[in-house]
Amino acid sequence: MLSSQHTISQFSKHLFWDVNREQLDIQQHKRQVIQQVLEYGLLSDWLLIRDIYGIKAIGETSITFRQMDPKTLVFISVVTGIPKESFICYSTKQLIPGHWNF
């Protein structure tokens, strides 16, 4: 469902501060684009990846992320209809014990 009319310059500038934006390709770097938007993007960035990749592809890609903010996990789980237990970041987080709260 990749749309050829979109470019990386349409995304918020803060998303790709650590890389050369001109060298990012929307299709080739799909995983990085989706992860950055889910973690740090604005609503306009979310709408853009939804238009570019589609909900199904975003779900299939995000299910493989090893880390994801808990709110982002719940959001993408609800939007895609994929149970949060199916995401790698969910099972990875369960394996890593947290600090004790006294």
Reply yes or no on whether the pLDDT at 16 is more than 70.
yes
Is the pTM above the cut of 0.75?
yes
Average pLDDT over residues 17-32: 88
- Using an 8 Å Cβ cutoff, are 69 and 99 in contact? no
Task: List, for residues 50-100, the tens digit of each pLDDT value.
Answer: 999 999 999 999 999 998 988 999 999 999 999 999 999 887 765 555 566
Sign of CA dihedral 55, 61, 65, 50: negative
- In sequence order, the 6+-apart residues with CB closer than 8 A to the CB of 33 are 8, 11, 24, 26, 49
Average pLDDT over residues 30-48: 94
